[in-house]
Amino acid sequence: MANQLEIRNLYASIEGGEQILKGVNLVVPRGQVHAIMGPNGAGKSTLGKIIAGDPSYTIEKGEILVDGENIMEMEPDERARKGLFLAFQYPVEVPGVTNANFLRLALQARKGEEVSVMEFYNKLQKALEVLEWDESILTRYLNDGFSGGEKKRNEILQLMVLEPTYAILDETDSGLDIDALKVVAKGVNAMRSPNFAALIITHYQRLLNYIIPDVVHVMVDGRIVTSGGPELALKLEAEGYEWVKELVVTGS
């Protein structure tokens, strides 16, 4: 059994519309952190949403394999039980459900069994400590009135409590101050282990100063056009995306 998240020759379109993904190939083994960068509209968020099982896209071709198992026919909650986690680009507000209740339900859904109050509380304590966060956040309603930074921090709290095997983080970076970016980095770095992998979608090289990725991929027009080490992110920061767009035209 291959311990990795694998995207194989994935073609997808908006239901009844334009083709967005045009043959994505990607392997993220456990134990590694990969970043996806690329210009606006390249299809990065679409890829993340499709991996999580968003039904608003039509898969035309290709496969998504988690530890060698095809997950294409699975509902989002089933994918979560297989160890996938997607932090949404725009987290939803759920008034009436406290943060702690939401987390406990999500953890039970993830594990497919009851989680004892003690076990849950211990996980929470550990995560709050890493994130340098106050317990008062737990009794607030999920995302209701949270600032951008609080939402982000909460997303990482979810990540740390749910302990997925494969986390997909779509970081717009927009409106996030440097402290919020550092929180994201702290959480991801605390999760790093031979049994954890992350795919981080980001525009800014800055984040990758704190989370050093094993591999950086560049997506342009629905495909991964080039991959490399952390130095690739530095090159993109310095030179922009024009040179990678050329790679699409020449097909090299």
Ligand X SMILES: Nc1ncnc2c1ncn2[C@@H]1O[C@H](COP(=O)(O)OP(=O)(O)OP(=O)(O)O)[C@@H](O)[C@H]1O
Q: Which residues bind ligand X (CB under 6 A)?
A: 14, 20, 38, 40-46, 56
Spatial distance between the Cα atoms of 4 and 63, rounded to a whole number of angstroms: 13
Of 46 and 165, CB closest to ligand X: 46
Of 100 and 225, CB closest to ligand X: 225
Q: Which residues lie near Mg ion (CB under 5 A)?
A: 44-45
Q: Is 62 helix (H, G, I), strand (E, B) or coil?
A: strand
Q: Is 166 helix (H, G, I), strand (E, B) or coil?
A: strand
- Reported as half-sphere exposure (CB side, CA atoms, 13 A), residue 154 has a value of 28
Spatial distance between the Cα atoms of 170 and 87, rounded to a whole number of angstroms: 6
Shortest separation between residue 202's beta carbon and Mg ion, angstroms:
10
Shortest separation between residue 224's beta carbon and ligand X, angstroms:
12
Say which entry of Mg ion, ligand X, none residue 43 contacts (CB below 5 to 8 A, set by partner kind): ligand X
Of 115 and 233, CB closest to ligand X: 233
- Reported as half-sphere exposure (CB side, CA atoms, 13 A), residue 1 has a value of 7
CB 64 within 8 Å of CB 71: yes
- State both tokens at 210: 């704190």
Of 155 and 163, CB closest to Mg ion: 155
Of 67 and 221, CB closest to ligand X: 221
Spatial distance between the Cα atoms of 184 and 187, rounded to a whole number of angstroms: 5
Beta-sheet pairing, 57-66 with 223-228: unpaired
Shortest separation between residue 108's beta carbon and Mg ion, angstroms:
30
